[in-house]
Amino acid sequence: MPKQFGTWISELADIAGYDKSKLIDLLSVNAQIPDDLVNAVNSNLMTLDTAKNNIELKKYFHAQALNGIDAELKNVLSELELDDESKQAIESETSSYKRVSKSLKLVKELEGKKLQANTKGEKTELQKEIDRLNNEIKSSKLQMQEKESEFNTKLESTLTEYQLNSILSSKNYAFGDMPKDVLTLTAKNLLQSALTSKGVKIVRQNDNLKLVRAEAPDLDYRENNTPVNIGDFVDRVLADNKLLKVSEPVANTVAPTQQQITAPKADNAFAAALADTVKTLEVAGISKS
């Protein structure tokens, strides 16, 4: 059955971790939301926890990390000139990690053959082959470690970007006649400019975003010897650039009424950031409306 608009907004705010006290007007809206819209939004939005536990996302990043290992191992098998039976036994293994393990067993078998060799020449040739195999396996292990590190870096970057976009998209922007995604991207450009000018970057720690020194990520970003909260920093940057809605004060002689919301004029920083946003959208193939 259709869901009450206020109830739905309250549920979304809980998921996003947004302060519902800022949504009093929206929560009181008396309207019904169709089931198909509620289901479509709920099934296509992911929180950080659901993203980290999404099996399709995990498969994608693992495939990206291990494809290079599989290609390198295939080259190694070709250089080993193995008999068809041995090569098939390794290639039929679906796990990249187990394929490396089977290659190690080949080295062990060659070590055994070396001990059984009758002539000095045979032992020398076997030792050369063992050394070559050990070097190939060492190279494969290093490449696997690099791919895993690259995978972890990409995953961390994706989660950081997702969490930052969630923060920026929750803001109550001025210039309400502009698309929300354009305003969010403009806000991100302004934020990045402020971070760069102060030598600061955003990192994730214990699933939360925080500000650290770009040149020394182990040090918190501080102002007046106090760590700066990322939420306060974002609000300050957006407010300084007049990107947030502001409320006009109500005169004392007038009975309290709903406050009028006005959009401030864009300053040079906002205009420059908006121009960067438009340029980004054009490069991505999105034409200006």
Each residue of 272-289: pLDDT tens digit? 666 666 556 555 554 444
201 has pLDDT over 90: yes
Separation of CA 72 from chain center? 27
E strands of the chain, at which residues?
A: 3-4, 32-33, 200-205, 208-213, 216-220, 222-223, 226-227, 246-247, 261-262
Contact of 248 with 264, CB cutoff 8 Å = no
**pLDDT: is 242 or 18 the higher one?**
242
**62-66, 94-98, 109-113, 252-256: segment of lowest average pLDDT:** 252-256
* Structure-token pair, residue 223: 């102002």
Contact of 189 with 273, CB cutoff 8 Å = yes
Q: Which pLDDT does position 215 carry in this prediction?
A: 93
Q: Which residues pair with 61 in a beta bridge?
A: none
**Domains of the chain, residue spans:** 55-160, 171-289
pTM of the predicted model as reported, rounded to 2 decimal places: 0.46
Each residue of 114-150: pLDDT tens digit? 666 656 677 778 788 888 888 888 888 888 888 888 8
189 has pLDDT over 90: yes
Banded pLDDT at 54 (limits 50, 70, 90)? confident
Q: Which pLDDT does position 261 carry in this prediction?
A: 39
Q: Which pLDDT does position 195 carry in this prediction?
A: 94
